[in-house]
Every structure is written in C-alpha cells, then in structure tokens.
Amino acid sequence: MKPCPDLFGKGLLSAAILLAQLTAFSLEVRLQTRHGGALSGEILRFEDNAVTIGIGTAPPRKEVSVPLDSIQGVDLPTADLMRNPSRVLHLAPLFPYASEALRQGLLEGARHLAGNGLWMECHTWLEALEGVGFTAPERLLLGLTRARALHALGLHTALKTELTRLNGAISPIDAPLALCILNAEARLRDTELEKALYWAQLPALRLPTHVDPYLQDLAECLERQLGAPVCSSRSSLR
C-alpha cells in the first residue's frame, strides 16, 4: 500500500493518523462510472473530489484516481464495515453514489447497531448517511433510529430538534410507537405534562388501537398528576 505523499515525514503522530486512515480505507470497492466503465479495487485515499483506488494485489499495483462526479454506482461490503463502524465516516463521500445493494446494506447496518444497543457507533453511522438518497419510509426509519440514539446518549437538545423534524414529516395519526414514546419522554423531561400525556395516550387512542404497557402506565401517572375533573370547592357550587 502506497502511503499518502503529503503526510509522509511529519513525525510519529502523522504516521499514526496515516496508518489509521489507511486501515480505514483497506476495503474493496466496486465503482461503476457514468461512461459504463467498472473498476474494482482497494480504496487508498480521497483528495480533490476524487477517490484513488489500488487495483491488483501484487506490487507494483496500479493506482487509479476517479473523480467523484463521474461515479454512477458504488458497492462496498457493509458486513466488513460493520465490524469497525467508526470507519464509515471516512467513506461518506462515496455514499451519495451507493448502489441499491449498498443502500440496503447501510440501512441494515444502522438497524444492526441499534439492535445491539451500540448507540455511539449507530449515531456515527447515521451521520455518514446524510447524503444518501433514501426513500421517505427509509428516512423515517433512520430518523427514528437517530432519535433513539440521541435519547440513549442523553443528547436532549439534539433529540428535540430531531423530534421536531420527524413530527413534521409524519402525521401523528401514523406516527410509529417509538416516535410516540420518544416524544412523550422528551415532553416529560421538559415538564410539559399535557403534551407528554398527548403522546403517551395517542397509540391507545387512534385506530387500530395499540396498548403499550409502558405508555399506559405513563399516561395514567400523568393523568393523575394533571388531575381529572374533580368536584372541588368552587366548581361544585356553581
């Protein structure tokens, strides 16, 4: 693997960073260009809106620099990537050109990390997917995953921003259960009890009804705090 010339010789730290980056790029990639060409090789580096890949295994191997705007499709082995999710940010420039298979792989990766409770990695992963053209349902799923990650990481301000975005993207009548729970918890945190109750009650109110034990308990607790109409002194005298 040929080192990056502009970083060479700048001391131990630079060498360490270089090594880390090289390790990050040691992934096989398949590129489809706009002109119908197909290239397969190892990613070496990104520079000046171009990606350099090394073709062939034995030295001297050939290095090819491909401008990003001439790429039509990219394929990467996401299973390898998932083993070390922190590398994903380095590869983000390629994701806007992701093939269908890679898109699905990236989605699966987010699901897998969330499913295993690796919220920090999941958050990084989702950051890298910013430029990918997902469908609306996929965007909703990713948004929800991001919100769950932010909640788990305790990043409440960012969570509120994400929830505002998600609430604008889907009608409350169709909001997934997870979104209702996150909204209820965020409102509760801000002591907006009425709004928290709204989100906690929603899944059990709309049709088809969905009774979630956690939300049910929360709603009952909130209703108790907010108080049902009671025959207190003045109202009963009217």
Q: Residue 183 CB, nearest distance to another protein (Å)?
A: 11
Whichever of 138 and 223 has its CB closer to another protein, that residue is 223
- Helices (H), ranges, the chain: 11-25, 78-83, 88-91, 100-115, 119-128, 136-153, 156-169, 177-189, 193-205, 213-226, 233-237
Q: Residue 234 CB, nearest distance to another protein (Å)?
A: 4
Report the interface residues with another protein, using CB under 8 A.
171-174, 191, 193-194, 197-198, 201-202, 204-209, 211, 223-237
Whichever of 135 and 233 has its CB closer to another protein, that residue is 233
Q: What is the dihedral of CA 105, 119, 96, 139, to 10 degrees?
A: 80
Whichever of 49 and 233 has its CB closer to another protein, that residue is 233
Q: Residue 238 CB, nearest distance to another protein (Å)?
A: 9
Whichever of 12 and 230 has its CB closer to another protein, that residue is 230
- Residue 145: count of CB within 10 angstroms of its CB: 23
Q: Residue 150 CB, nearest distance to another protein (Å)?
A: 20
With a CB cutoff of 8 Å and minimum separation 6, the contacts of 114 are 122, 145, 148, 149
